[in-house]
Amino acid sequence: REINHLTTLAGYVHWKLTGEQVLGIGEASGMFPIDSTINDYDAGRISQFDELLAAQNMPWRLRDILLRVLVAGEAAGALTAEGARLLDTSGELQAGIPP
């Protein structure tokens, strides 16, 4: 019944490195159908899924747990200090990339 968000391994790694909870459209399409006319999750199918959730008295809706979808070229975040430390314990790798 309790769930914070739904992601993939790539989405989890991205979140740990940047603090951003986003997915590329290709990755997102593997989790839930995408409406290619709007480059986002299929609203009709989300509504259908939410009806099933409501019937089970779930306290959340699908849109609440799906990550934001990005297409190629959209900014997805920058490396945080915590993310840099995960990648390089020596401390040489600096946060903030890409600029």
pLDDT digits 0-9 by tens, 8-66: 999 999 999 999 999 999 999 999 999 999 999 999 999 999 999 999 999 999 999 99
Specify the pLDDT at position 98: 80
What is the structure's pLDDT at 1?
76
Q: Exposed (0-12), middle (13-18) or buried (19+): which is 28, by Cβ within 10 Å?
A: buried
Reported pTM? 0.86
CB 65 within 8 A of CB 31: no
- Give 77's pLDDT tier (boundaries 50, 70, 90): very high
